[in-house]
Amino acid sequence: MTNPKEPRKLSEEVIVCYGAGEAAIGFADLTTRALTKRFGLSAEEAKKKLYLVDSKGLVVEGRKTGGLTSHKLKYARPAGTPELTDLEETV
C-alpha cells in the first residue's frame, strides 16, 4: 500500500473514464500527451493506461454491442478483451 502523503506519478496510475464523449476523449488526449512528453512513455504505452466506459460498457474493438465511433476507437481496448458492460465491472 502506498503512503497517501507521498505524491504518486501519473505514469504509475491506471485511469478509467466514465464516459467516452468529446470531454473524455479530450481528457484522454491530454493525459496521453502528458505521459509521452513528461514521463517518456510511448503513445501505445500511454493508451494502455486509459480505459473508457460508455453507455454500452468498456470500449473494446469489435464490441458486439456496437456504438464505436472513430474517436472512441483511438482508445479502444484490443479485440478479445472481455466486454464488460458497466463501470463497476471495469473497476
pLDDT confidence bin for 7, thresholds 50/70/90: confident
pLDDT confidence bin for 89, thresholds 50/70/90: confident
Task: Give the angle 9-13-15 at the CA atoms, nearest 5°.
Answer: 135
Region for 83 from its dihedrals, namely left if φ exceeds 0, alpha if ψ lies in -120 to 50, beta otherwise: beta
- Which pLDDT score is estimated for 4? 73
* Phi, psi of 77, deg, nearest 5: -70, 155
- Quick: pLDDT tens for 26-37: 999 999 999 999
pLDDT confidence bin for 91, thresholds 50/70/90: confident
Helix, strand and coil percent figures for the chain, each rounded to 5: 35, 15, 50
Judge contact between 71 and 35, C-beta under 8 A.
Answer: no
CA dihedral of residues 18, 1, 12, 53 (deg, nearest 10)? -10
Q: Decide which of 1.20.1600.10, 3.40.50.1100, 3.20.20.60, 3.40.50.720 is the CATH code for 12-90.
A: 3.40.50.720
Q: Where are the domains of the chain?
A: 12-90
What does the alpha-carbon distance between residue 91 and residue 87 come to, in Å, rounded to a whole number? 6
pLDDT confidence bin for 39, thresholds 50/70/90: very high
- Which pLDDT score is estimated for 2? 62
